[in-house]
Amino acid sequence: MWIYEELYSCPKTILISKTFIGKYPGILSMSLGNYRANVLKKGSDWFLFHNIPLELDPDETIQACFQMAKGLSYEQKGLKKVITTSMLYGGLTLFVEVGGEPVLLNMEPVDTDVFKFYIDPRGVRTLKESGFDQLSLFMLSLREGLEDLMRETCVEVGRREGNTCVIPTSVGELIVSTKEVVRKGLMRIIPDNAPLRHVVKV
């Protein structure tokens, strides 16, 4: 058994949508609790364990986690900074680009009792541009468990398929539903409302 002195447990972060807040571009991300990169340290030795499938691009999470563990997160720029910062807060995080750098604007927990989330890695991999008002209401619906509002705002953020909302993301299509979805190839994901875990041996 490998005994460690420090552990950094970093959630996979997916990019969901882009928007504009006035003239400033923004981007929405979400951290996942059930897919993580774990970086362990003992002396000068490092050990990595992760359960992120190849379809969800584990490399970006692994690199960001190592940067965090080595105290180099300040070097992150652009989308890499979005991913790293999202790890520190969990849930939904909305960033606005000011002076060429992403700055955290808003963060919301996600109601995982009302909503169930899936990724179809075979789906479209892109970020749809959404109006800031509708995107904000979509975030509100996920925080408060408001089913009707989620479906209403889904038309702007993604597309409706029955009672589900399908949103193109950086890793495929995100499916938000109030009921279990059984379909071949879908990956069940669980939003992580807690931040990155850092454990130190004392």
Percent of the chain predicted with pLDDT > 70: 95
Q: pLDDT digits over 7-59, tens only?
A: 889 999 999 999 999 999 999 999 999 999 999 988 888 999 999 999 999 99
Average pLDDT over residues 110-139: 96
Average pLDDT over residues 181-190: 94
How many other C-beta atoms lie within 10 A of the C-beta of residue 156? 18
In DSSP notation, 66-95 reads: HHHHTT-GGG--HHHHHHHHHHHH-SEEEE
* Calpha distance 23→92 (Å, rounded): 22
Average pLDDT over residues 164-169: 97
Cα radius of gyration (the chain): 17
* Greater model confidence, 88 or 94: 94
pLDDT at 181 > cutoff 90: yes
Tell me what pLDDT residue 201 has.
57
Tokens found for residue 89: 């807060």
pLDDT at 152 > cutoff 70: yes
* Calpha distance 84→187 (Å, rounded): 23
In the block, tokens 């981007």 appear at 27
What domains, with CATH codes, occur in the chain?
6-107 (3.30.230.10), 116-189 (no CATH)
pLDDT at 63 > cutoff 80: yes
The chain-wide mean pLDDT, for the chain, equals 91
* Calpha distance 109→46 (Å, rounded): 32
> Residue 201, exposed/middle/buried by CB under 10 A (0-12, 13-18, 19+)?
exposed
Tell me what pLDDT residue 3 has.
75
> C-alpha distances in angstroms, 104 versus 21, 84, 86, 170, 182?
13, 11, 9, 19, 35
- Residues 117/189, Cβ–Cβ less than 8 Å: yes
Tell me what pLDDT residue 2 has.
61
Tell me what pLDDT residue 70 has.
84
Tell me what pLDDT residue 92 has.
96
pLDDT at 138 > cutoff 90: yes
Average pLDDT over residues 94-123: 94
pLDDT at 195 > cutoff 90: no
Q: Of 6-20, 31-45, 148-162, 186-200, where does mean pLDDT reach its minimum?
A: 186-200
Tell me what pLDDT residue 202 has.
44
* Greater model confidence, 151 or 84: 151
